[in-house]
Structure 1
Amino acid sequence: MQSTLEFLRCSDPDIYAAMIGEEQRQREGLELIPSENYAFPEVYATNGSVFTNKYAEGYPGRRYYGGQTFTDRIETLAIERARQLFRAEHANVQPLSGSPMNQAVYMACLEPGDTVLAMDLSHGGHLTHGAPVSAMGRIFNFVRYKTSPPDGRIDYDAVAAAARATRPRIVLCGHSSYPRELDYARFRAIADEIGALAMADVSHIGGLIAGGVLANPLDAGFDIVTTTTHKSLRGPRGGLILCKASLGPQIDQAVFPGMQGGPHMNAVAGIAVTLKLAAQPEFRKYAQQVLRNAHTLADELRRHGCTLITGGTENHLLVIDTVRSFDVDGRVAETALDAAGLTVNKQVIPDDPRPPLRPSGIRLGTPAMTTRGLGEAQMKQVADWIVRALRAASDADALRAVNAEVRDLCSRFPVPGLG
């Protein structure tokens, strides 16, 4: 690896400098964005491997190019490991990322104009769940359900009523910014009542499901479950579609040749490695600590008077209403915390009156910090830094002081794989 980096330093010093700068940023700051994590060190080896060079259009035993002995081996391992880890009848490991992953499911199971019932974006849903600005939102008819005040929970009776009224082909649950566990049995019952497919996008919590600390929709009889392979799973960037065996052929056809050509076999190798590591007892302990850290962080932020969407968390993430808590919008809060060495992302809150680039909140989570080895004691310190920084969001000296403390902590908890 060092010789490869040295080669890059000589051939393209600008890109090399950016890589070294990013490595330093990750070493010296804390990553709180809940959709980001540090990959297993083994994933670095696969992503930079000779599999980068190989086209492998098709599926194991059915390729369109020769020389597939080892690509077939790693993809078969990835498929079997995915099926075992998530207790799935069928798995497709080729989607290049989360968006084409979900798009492939829609293309496999729907006709243009068909209806999908999914979570509203501002209430915690995802762009690929039918946001009007998405391509899928133009092809299919997405009907969106919302959470309910005052606690921001899902009103399942309202979801059932919407399903009866709109007769969707797919009832989709899952989120990118909802801090609570989902009632998969209730979603399955709603889908059954109207004869719809039950689909869950668990991209954020795939690792927590694999680690056994959150419920698995497949255990509730879901037809389709999708998850990205990075985030809480700590793998390479990619997508994974798990489904009933009866849907397997049409899902595979939708992925290739329907949505994409040759899979990124270096990423498939990384997915295979990740799924093996996620099946180990150490990963279960990791998933348990992610939840303990999230609960501690939420409790400590509430103790400081912060307003949290839904009042707390039951998973790895939480959302702070920064306008109510600190009288600053999410963009200001994100910028201030960045200067303090704490990376978060601005986030809309339910029915946010503010625009997406200046929303009312921020979103944060604990997977990456837990990967570094931080525990409950450090979560209390992180909460204190967040509050100090946001109460002094325009004070550069105060933010630099917090940053120095963050760097000191980070020096004691190195990023795995970065030394």
Structure 2
Amino acid sequence: MLEDLLSKYPDLKHVYDLTTTHTRYRKRETINLIASENVMSPLAMLLYLNDMMHRYAEGKPFKRFYQGLKYVDELEVKASELMGQLLNTKFVDLRPVSGTTANAAAFRTFTKPGDKAVVAPVQAGAHVSHTRYGTLGALGIEQIDMPFSLEEWNIDVDKAVKLIEEVKPKIVTLGGSLYIFPHPTRPIAEAAHSVGAKVIHDVAHVLGLIVGGVWPNPLTEGADVITSSTHKTFPGPQGGLFATRLEEDYKEIGKVIFPMFVSNHHLHRLAATAITALEMREFGRDYASQVVKNAKALAQALASRGIKVVMEEKGYTESHQVVLDVSRHGRGTKVATALEEANIIVNKNMLPWDRPEDVKDPSGIRIGVQEVTRWGMREGEMDEIAELIKQVVVDKRDPAEVRRKVIEFRKEFLEVQYCFKISREDEVKLLSLLLHP
């Protein structure tokens, strides 16, 4: 039947082929080292395919503007409770559809146009939404860059405290998309609170490490709000959240997220988020610990092969990320493109010494090991990945030759780990129930 449809409708076949080919390519044939991606478990993926993707839910649980949502209400409350248990707070809101949306709501809650925000600069790892080029600028908030210590690859605490005391901003942002060491939340929060500022810590990249217990939870260190996506080190569906220490802040941001930034909030992701939270409660510590071990192992293996990995003097990394300076190998664009041709997927990235005009061809490469960890890879596999990267970047081997090795390597890692296991028979039954209730 499907073959007949594909034969009859060429455009249908084109869409079908692109989708299935992409899925096979990324899940079976590549080593994915994008630091902002991950894979859901089979159970989470199956429950993602539910009727809620057809439904609409303005408002919040039990206070909706539409009927027919009694099960959605219960599910949203349960998913929020599960995330709250992991984050040690009762105040979690899953309505943001992305981390950037969560940032926008938090920024808008505590500022008005013309107010000042002290932020980490983009070259030091801040996400673009924290800057004048993104959400912060769109809201009319003035960006003031926080001093950054290249020696520590982190915020310069003493200078940052002094700046906050002088500027008296309305908000201070921490966290970033290039994030290898924890930001100093406690002293920054103390300085911010002394001038009446709120601290908004973007933990999108490290949420899975936080709930896995290997990265500090900013909420317990003085941050007023954490914002996050739910699909990086936390291996859930694409989406967002914010969480707070105080009920008052939770309510105030909630009034902004709807109706200002979100109407319907993509309800089908709630079940997958809840399943992932349960899996992280069960397996998160082992997973997060292995992520950090793998990042350190990959960094060491790459450095031993002649590739410059930043911050050797501090053990390279404490997160899922490994940062390379490839300026002597052709710079970021050339290296990322060559690796992609070999089915090794990374992204170019600005480093602190890059100029703003280097954004299209920065000197850095950002690597994340959270997805390969989910596929069951450990320290030994990190050494193999480093060798494959070296063959492309240092040895200048033909990427097609390395690609064949990558595809062969991936054949041993096709089952997601650190999750609830279900049989193929169960998968078929559940899929049939979801598609043909």
TM superposition score normalised by structure 2: 0.89
Corresponding residue for residue 84 of structure 1: 85
Matched, 1:18 2:18: yes
Mark the CA change 1:7 to 1:193 in structure 2 (over 3 Å): closer, same or farther.
farther
Report matched runs for 1:110-259 at 5 Å: 110-130=111-131, 132-138=132-138, 139-243=140-244, 244-259=246-261
Question: Partner amino acid for 1:155?
Answer: D
Cα contact 2:165–2:192 (8 A) shared by 1: no
Structure 2 SS opposite 1:412: coil
The share of aligned pairs that are identical, in percent, is 30
Give me the whole-angstrom Cα distance separating, in 1, the residues matched to 2:276 and 2:5.
28
Corresponding residue for residue 370 of structure 1: 373
Offset of residue 5 of structure 1: 11
Offset of residue 146 of structure 1: 4.1
Corresponding residue for residue 413 of structure 1: 413
Question: Partner amino acid for 2:410?
Answer: C
Offset of residue 400 of structure 1: 1.8
Range 305-314 or range 17-26, more displaced: 305-314
Give me the whole-angstrom Cα distance separating, in 2, the residues matched to 1:367 and 1:5.
37
Structure 2 SS opposite 1:227: strand
Give me the whole-angstrom Cα distance separating, in 1, the residues matched to 2:47 and 2:234.
16
Aligned positions, number: 410
Q: Cα RMSD (Å) of the superposition?
A: 2.1
Give me the whole-angstrom Cα distance separating, in 2, the residues matched to 1:341 and 1:146.
38
Cα contact 2:35–2:321 (8 A) shared by 1: yes
Give me the whole-angstrom Cα distance separating, in 1, the residues matched to 2:119 and 2:15.
40
1:258-313 per-residue CA deviation (whole Å, 9 max, x = no partner) reads 11111110012222222122111x22111110000001011112222322233311
1:40-81 per-residue CA deviation (whole Å, 9 max, x = no partner) reads 222322332111111111111100011111110110111111
Range 338-347 or range 135-144, more displaced: 135-144
Question: Partner amino acid for 2:113?
Answer: P
Question: Partner amino acid for 1:106?
Answer: F
Give me the whole-angstrom Cα distance separating, in 1, the residues matched to 2:370 and 2:266.
25
Mark the CA change 1:67 to 1:36 in structure 2 (over 3 Å): closer, same or farther.
same
Corresponding residue for residue 404 of structure 1: 404
Give me the whole-angstrom Cα distance separating, in 2, the residues matched to 1:6 and 1:148.
62
Offset of residue 87 of structure 1: 0.7
TM superposition score normalised by structure 1: 0.93
1:363-402 per-residue CA deviation (whole Å, 9 max, x = no partner) reads 0011000000000001011111112111244x5xx32222
Matched, 1:385 2:416: no
Mark the CA change 1:190 to 1:50 in structure 2 (over 3 Å): closer, same or farther.
same
Structure 2 SS opposite 1:385: helix
Corresponding residue for residue 431 of structure 2: none
Cα contact 1:9–1:16 (8 A) shared by 2: no
Offset of residue 8 of structure 1: 8.2
Cα contact 1:211–1:278 (8 A) shared by 2: yes
Q: Identify the match of residue 323 of structure 2 among 319, 322, 325.
A: 319
